[in-house]
Structure 1
């Protein structure tokens, strides 16, 4: 039995919150955590929050027998926030759940999620297992320099997963390790490759749980309602001034027609810098029955086969600033046409 299983025996259910900017690799990290839990005989529950009416990440993580709830069409720190506490309580009460993972949308403000988790109805049943923030090692310094939300997702972290370390050189890795304490001096950093922490999943979860348990240990139980009211007042004040992600928007477009792969890849790589993330399910003209999942962030594109039963989920989701739905739809439509010689060239990076 793992140390995590021993610590949680007959105690409250830990809830781990995964945040991280768009394209950081949260779903990949979460997949490693879920796999480890199953190997250890632990029964994880999963709550996924995504913008839009279709959960791309939910379909990618869906496994037979996994307890899963999806909160779509809104962020848990905004329109979907009212659903979060009931969803956590329902998941924590299930006899087939030992611990819960909440994967927030890449636009979620961790301060607002923490506000929801101070709800007094939760503290009798669950304990916050720590805020785990996943960051893209190649892009995080640039993102944090330009976007308040990216900085906040670091500042509020108990644990930072420094993902995609295989894509950076040793000098950049060391510079990043020295840069992180400027924003999160108390956070523990776990370098990771393709979502797998170098020190292992158990070490990460135990460390996050230790810090999560300390969040309210200085608040006696009778005072927790008062604490919730204070944080809720601050939350309402924050709403009056707007969320850090208000300028980010989502556009979903159908991909019900097969596209030319080379042209589609070229289209994604040429997306404007204001688009931070694109993902979805697609089919290609050379084999229209085979479904693929694609994941894009600037400088990174991955497309792989995926077993998807519902063809009505074939669509692309774009997240960013200044999105023009009509223009994106028109460009997607051109991807059904044969690629030009320029579009078939293999990129150098």
Structure 2
């Protein structure tokens, strides 16, 4: 009996808010345009899905693991979910890891013995946000270094918003820590002049990958425990919005979040304005845009940070409502 071919898997990592889902969405549209069957396994750190809802609203099928990190906290669930996704026989699998995922542990999970005859890790992709990368590489030294060193490709997202110095700083960091990895500039998930995604979808020769990763593991041993900020140092809070919000109040609230809240995202409606809006917040940068998704998700927000005052956040959000009523904190 012939051995079935292994399903190539592209793992997309990068810190919270780096642009992973935007890249993944562009890849999925590309696969759809080629008539190729792609599967998605997505991990959300919070207990409510935001990114998965966006992909489903665009018509893509997604399997999700929530409220933990696939590289350690929900590792067994990840292996089971990965096995189920592979059993659907897609032509390619995309795994979007939570921004807190450690690629060393993630690779261990993705190469569990009973997965080895079904899938192969074709490429590890790390997405870097130019506005926040330099600061994060100092504050979260180990996790950013690991995500960079284990990458086959480094993608600088939001290139149209970056300064030349920000891009140069990331290139210098990659050159120092992973000189074998090519670096690409991406805007809205697309690389100018390369609509076929050849830069990402081409496999890396297995022997070369193993040589790189052996060297990376050796260099990472020098990192101390103090350099590594663990998953337990981060927490999430989710809440459903029961009323439309007053835009001016909400934007003021978001722009004055405590500095230890590093990520927030969600769907909401504004009083006096039609339609659904998606909000993304990354280390002080706030993005709000209209979105049309089918099925339309419930209005809810997720906050991620080192410390979260649940009662204070809920109270401040309630004050943003056009007609005030207690929020449902999950």
TM range, smaller chain: 0.7 to 0.9
Q: Is the 8 A contact 1:77 1:108 kept in 2?
A: yes
The answer to whether residue 222 in structure 2 is matched with residue 270 in structure 1 is no
Unaligned runs of 5+ in 1: 1-9, 219-230, 232-237, 339-349
Which residue in 1 is equivalent to 2:135? 142
C-alpha deviation, 1:171, in angstroms: 3.8
Which residue in 2 is equivalent to 1:257? 243
The answer to whether residue 89 in structure 2 is matched with residue 103 in structure 1 is no
> Which runs of structure 2 are paired with 1:1-80 in the superposition (5 Å)?
11-62=5-56, 66-80=60-74
C-alpha deviation, 1:185, in angstroms: 2.2
> Which runs of structure 2 are paired with 1:229-268 in the superposition (5 Å)?
244-268=230-254
Q: CA deviation digits over 1:126-159, x for unaligned, max 9? A: 1102111111011101111111322322122111
C-alpha deviation, 1:161, in angstroms: 0.6
Name the SS for the 1:313 alignment partner.
Answer: coil
Which residue in 2 is equivalent to 1:112? 105
Q: Is the 8 A contact 1:128 1:213 kept in 2?
A: no
Separation in 2, partners of 1:332, 1:211: 51
Name the SS for the 1:18 alignment partner.
Answer: strand
Which residue in 1 is equivalent to 2:204? 210
Separation in 2, partners of 1:41, 1:171: 40
Which residue in 2 is equivalent to 1:285? 271
The answer to whether residue 87 in structure 2 is matched with residue 93 in structure 1 is yes
Name the SS for the 1:327 alignment partner.
Answer: helix
Indicate which of 309, 312, 323 corresponds to 1:324.
309
Task: Evaluate the alpha carbon distance shift between residue 78 and residue 176 of structure 1 in structure 2; reply closer, same or farther with a 3 A threshold.
Answer: closer
Task: Evaluate the alpha carbon distance shift between residue 65 and residue 93 of structure 1 in structure 2; reply closer, same or farther with a 3 A threshold.
Answer: farther
Q: Is the 8 A contact 1:128 1:212 kept in 2?
A: no
Unaligned runs of 5+ in 2: 218-223, 324-330
C-alpha deviation, 1:311, in angstroms: 7.0
Name the SS for the 1:174 alignment partner.
Answer: helix
Name the SS for the 1:316 alignment partner.
Answer: strand
The answer to whether residue 320 in structure 2 is matched with residue 335 in structure 1 is yes
Which residue in 1 is equivalent to 2:298? 313
Separation in 1, partners of 2:241, 2:172: 43
Q: Is the 8 A contact 2:58 2:293 kept in 1?
A: no
C-alpha deviation, 1:215, in angstroms: 4.0
> Which runs of structure 2 are paired with 1:184-199 in the superposition (5 Å)?
184-198=178-192, 199=194
Q: Is the 8 A contact 2:14 2:20 kept in 1?
A: yes
RMSD of aligned Cα (Å): 2.8
